[in-house]
Chain A
């Protein structure tokens, strides 16, 4: 059964700092892994999707990596800005890959000006 864990639960950094958010999963037979951003009281915005055959994906200042063998994914945010403050969630489908997702608990990021 797929389980997804995110550490740390919260992170506070000064503006301009590069940072890494961590996500681990238990079932290495993973189809893909998706990173989302959630602002308070809002829905989810998809940031990056990494397929099982890929090692990383990049979008602007964001870079996500996937290491199936170790059961880990990281989201790297370069040159953080106050507007990056949000909760970041990673999610992976269960082994059956029916389209549903198993979510981590999220990391709440605060970027201080």
Chain B
């Protein structure tokens, strides 16, 4: 299957700092990627849709100024958590589809801990 790589897998940062998470499609191009968040013992919730060459689309309740998304190429989307606070501590995971109506492939996820 297709490969989506996410980096870093784990990050600890101080409150007030920013953290960037990368999501790459290794063997296919993706004009659209998706960012999800998963709190402990909960399921995945979609945060935003990353669109190559245009603005991201955020789900209701997700602060676009806090979670900056950049999709500068067909194989890379980045999520920057700005001015992170302890409540932003979560598991962030991205996905991409090699085409429409096909399987979604997920990255390994990033465990963010804000102290």
User: Bound complex: CA of A99 vs CA of B108, how far in Å?
Assistant: 18
Are B34 and A100 neighbours in the complex by a CB distance under 8 Å?
yes
Q: Which one, A34, A42, A104, contacts B103 given CB within 8 A? A: A34
> What size tier do the contact residues of chain A reach?
20 to 34
Contact B43 A46 (CB under 8 A): no
B106, closest chain A residue (CB) = A44
Query: Are A105's CB and B42's CB within 8 A?
Result: yes
B102 at the A interface (CB under 8 A): yes
With an 8 Å Cβ cutoff, the count of chain B residues facing the other chain is 26
A86-113 residues at the B interface, CB under 8 angstroms: 89, 91, 97-106
Q: Which residues of A have CB within 8 Å of B46?
A: 100-102
Contact B6 A34 (CB under 8 A): no
Complex interface: stretch among B12-20, B75-83, B93-101? B93-101
Query: Is A66 on the interface with B (CB-CB < 8 A)?
Result: no
Q: Which residues of A contact B108 (CB under 8 A)?
A: 42-43
| Residue contact A101 to B95, C-beta cutoff 8 Å | yes
Q: Does B89 contact A (CB under 8 A)?
A: no
Does A76 sit within 8 A of B, measured CB to CB? Answer: no
B111 lies within 8 A of A98 (CB): no
CB closest residue in chain B, given A106: B43
Contact of B49 among A34, A51, A100 (CB under 8 A): A100
Known: A42-B108, A42-B109, A46-B105. A97 touches B100 (CB 8 A): yes
Known: A99-B32, A101-B104. A43 touches B44 (CB 8 A): no
